[in-house]
Chains A and B, each alone.
Chain A
């Protein structure tokens, strides 16, 4: 582990960004999405990332999720520089340690809730019977027992997002990355989703990084980081209302 001894020696950071920058395009057309981010997230944290549109929070999330690589700086996941991993190695990292929840749910259409939840297990090579059992347990954890044969089009937005959460946690990931998970939902459904996420954080110790516009949703997190123009503007600890 690549722990810096001066800081939090008791806990080694799960995630550490060191001077991470991301530039899209080149020359005059270059767009600096991130301009040097230093951030560490420890095991079991619940972090909310806030900021106006274009502040770089989604880019940061994509890098944290190993969907994208930094243009400069280092992204250490459990001490491993994920920015230097190959495409397939990053896919394996996602497969084994990360779970995603998106604003647009991103479920497979015309595919039942159960099969959507099973999807990550298929790529892990989990045998059929065990896969089914795990997926059912995950659906139960998000309160969707009885809905497993329904396809996304037969489910409400809140239910769809809960299927997506079940898909994200079915592999018992170390980190759950949620990019505006409540962006398409009304406030009542949003609170339900946040409570489900907060429960996974407190009961299972899954580290959660959440991007949101909504201060009410950010209030569920224990730490709030604010982005502005590609840098971290401020950081505050939060009691966590959940």
Chain B
């Protein structure tokens, strides 16, 4: 019986191809819009998350001065850290993978007749570890080079490209400001961050080299701290804050003159924002699904009126109220599900094209496809029920008399 009902529904739909197509257009557009929006939004979220993850996982940044409070907020300065602050963190706080004291100065990089303004970043090998940044070529610093502040450097991918082009820079000597230093390694490229800055535009040199030969002080501007896997960054953040307050002699009740930034927190804030936006876009798109449902109800009501005589005949030969109701309900559900399927195909295609256009990853989410399909079928049931019930409750005599 159900098989016959479904076959009958397909036949009725085929009989009115144009009308059926127009009827399901609303559902098609609704489903396609929902899938496109949610898929693109998901891609953008993943993009932001992976961008931030590229800064290093389980990473904390400790900086002097107070955290920015809201956009345009002022930031009171605090004394710079020294190298022994980083040593104290590494010594006294447990659960750490690496601690990298870092300082930075802008400097002119010169090789041959090439010239590139970049940043000279002084740190240790731990920097590569906390930033999760592998060498493409060459070697890291030796402990002797670090201790003695030797004139050696590791190039970021951008600097290497600007100064050397296609040549192998290992072993070459470049000028960095007033310093002549030998290139011992090249970093892999991380590309642009989602904030638009080029992460590969710097030269890494030993911290002491930077302090003595370029900056002329012993300041450390940022201490990167990375937690061991499975260790809560929250706990380490608290430990670092307590230790620094102690070392900087901050009386209780007074505010910190430094701040600790948790990358994990940044990830969740940023992805949270894009997720909310995705949800909103999806909700707007879902409204068009509702409108599509009303279109189906409209056409089903017309169809029931047009087929009054047929309904009368069916009732006369012994169809029950629910047989007729089912017939029209199945027709509405088949229509809306079909619209849902077309919408899924269009939506996935549009999302794939949109992802390429916006340069975000295309992440196919079977969940949203399943939900969209179920929703479109549900729209058929909800909006098809009223016309179908009208059909089932017709008086057979009246229906047979209908011209």
Q: Identify B397's interface contact among A68, A88, A92, A125, CB under 8 A.
A: A68
- The answer to whether A95 and B318 touch across the interface, beta carbons within 8 angstroms, is yes
What is the total of A-B residue contacts with beta carbons within 8 Å? 55
Q: Assess A91 versus B318: contact at CB under 8 Å? Given A110-B15, A125-B1.
A: yes
* Bound-state Cα–Cα, A102 to B397, Å: 11
Which residues of A79-117 are within 8 A (CB) of B? 87-88, 91-92, 94-96, 100, 102, 106-110
- CB–CB A96/B318 < 8 A: yes
- Chain A residues near B162: list those with CB within 8 A: none
Given the interface pairs A102-B400, A106-B309, A122-B4, the reply to whether A87 lies near B321 with Cβ below 8 Å is yes
Q: Do residues A124 and B396 form an inter-chain contact, with CB atoms below 8 A?
A: no
Min CB distance B247 to A, Å, is 86
A67 at the interface (CB under 8 A from B): yes
- Please name all residues of chain B whose beta carbon is closer than 8 Å to the beta carbon of A57 when the two chains form the complex: none
**CB of B366, distance to nearest CB on chain A (Å):** 36
B residues touching A (Cβ–Cβ < 8 Å)? Answer: 1, 4, 15, 309-310, 312-323, 396-397, 400
Question: Are A108 and B310 within 8 A (Cβ)?
Answer: yes
Contacts of A120 in B (CB 8 A): 317-318
Q: Is A196 an interface residue (CB 8 A)?
A: no
CA distance A109 to B307 in the complex (A): 10
Residue of A62, A102, A119, A167 ringed by the most chain B CB atoms within 10 A: A119
User: From residue A124, how far is it (CB to closest CB) to chain B in Å?
Assistant: 7
User: In the bound complex, what is the Cα–Cα distance between A171 and B317 (angstroms)?
Assistant: 10
A102 and B318 CA atoms in complex are apart in Å by: 15
A167 contacts across to B, CB distance below 8 A? 317
12 pairs from A and B in contact (CB 8 Å cutoff) = A67-B316, A68-B397, A88-B321, A92-B318, A108-B310, A119-B314, A119-B317, A122-B1, A123-B1, A123-B314, A123-B317, A123-B319
1/0 per residue A120-136: CB within 8 Å of B?
A: 10111100000000000
A65 neighbours in B (Cβ, 8 Å): 316
In the assembly, what is the distance between CA of A179 and CA of B312, in Å?
A: 15
Please count how many residues in chain A sit with their CB below 8 Å of the partner chain's CB atoms: 25
Q: Which of A67, A91, A109, A122 touches B321 (beta carbons < 8 Å)? A: A91
Shortest 10 CB-CB contacts between residues of A and residues of B:
A95-B318, A120-B317, A94-B318, A123-B318, A67-B396, A88-B320, A91-B320, A106-B313, A123-B319, A67-B397
The complex places the Cα of A170 from the Cα of B97 at a distance, in Å, of 85
Compute how far the CA of A147 lies from the CA of B146 in the bound complex, rounded to whole angstroms: 100
Identify the closest chain A residue to B313 (Cβ).
Answer: A106
Q: Are B317 and A100 within 8 A (Cβ)?
A: yes
Write out the residue numbers on chain A whose beta carbons fall within 8 Å of the beta carbon of B310.
Answer: 108-109
> Are B15 and A92 closer than 8 Å at their CB atoms?
no
Q: How far is the CA of A88 from the CA of B315 in the complex (A)?
A: 10
Candidates A88, A94, A110; contact of B316 at CB < 8 Å: A94
Once A106-B309, A122-B1 are accepted as A-B contacts, the answer to whether A95 and B317 lie under 8 Å apart by CB is yes
Given the interface pairs A94-B316, A95-B317, the reply to whether A123 lies near B323 with Cβ below 8 Å is yes
Q: Which residues of A contact B (CB under 8 A)?
A: 62, 65, 67-68, 87-88, 91-92, 94-96, 100, 102, 106-110, 119-120, 122-125, 167
| A67, A88, A96, A100 pick with most chain B CB within 10 angstroms | A67
B325 vs chain A, min Cβ distance (A)? 12
Set of chain B residues within 8 Å of A123, measured between Cβ atoms: 1, 314, 317-320, 323
Asked if B312 and A62 make an inter-chain contact with CB atoms under 8 angstroms apart, the answer reads: no
For the complex formed, measure the closest distance between the CB of A108 and the CB atoms of chain B, giving whole angstroms.
6
Do A124 and B318 touch across chains, with their CB atoms under 8 A apart?
Answer: yes
Measured CA separation A87–B325 after assembly (Å) = 14
A95 cross-chain contacts in B, Cβ below 8 A = 317-319
With both beta carbons as reference points, the residue of chain B lying nearest to A92 in the complex is identified as B318
Report Cα–Cα, A60/B309, bound state, in Å. 21
Per the bound structure, the CA–CA distance linking A91 and B396 in Å amounts to: 10
* CB <8 Å contact, B318 and A108: no
Contact of A108 among B4, B313, B400 (CB under 8 A): B313
Q: Name the A residues within 8 Å of B314 (CB-CB).
A: 119, 123
**Whole-angstrom distance from the CB of B118 to the nearest CB of chain A?**
78
Note all chain A residues with C-beta closer than 8 A to B15: 110
Chain A nearest CB, measured from B7 CB (Å): 10
Determine the residue in chain B with the shortest Cβ distance to A95: B318
Residues of A within 8 A of B315 (CB): 91
Bound Cα distance A150, B11 (Å): 17
List residues of chain B with CB within 8 A of the CB of A124: 318
Closest A residue, CB atoms, query B393:
A87
Shortest CB distance A109–B (Å):
8
CA distance A198 to B15 in the complex (A): 38
Q: Is the CB of B400 within 8 A of A106?
A: yes
- Minimum CB–CB distance from B316 to chain A (whole Å) comes to 5
| Least CB distance, B172 to chain A, in whole angstroms | 84
CA A110 to CA B16, docked complex, whole Å: 12
Query: Which residues on the A side are within 8 Å of B400 (C-beta)?
Result: 67, 102, 106
Minimum CB–CB distance for A23 against chain B, Å: 15
Nearest-neighbor residue (CB-CB) of B318 within chain A: A95
Q: A67-B397, A122-B1 are in contact. List 17 more A-B contacts (CB 8 A).
A: A67-B316, A67-B396, A87-B321, A88-B321, A91-B315, A91-B320, A92-B318, A92-B320, A106-B316, A107-B313, A108-B310, A109-B310, A119-B313, A123-B317, A123-B319, A123-B320, A125-B1
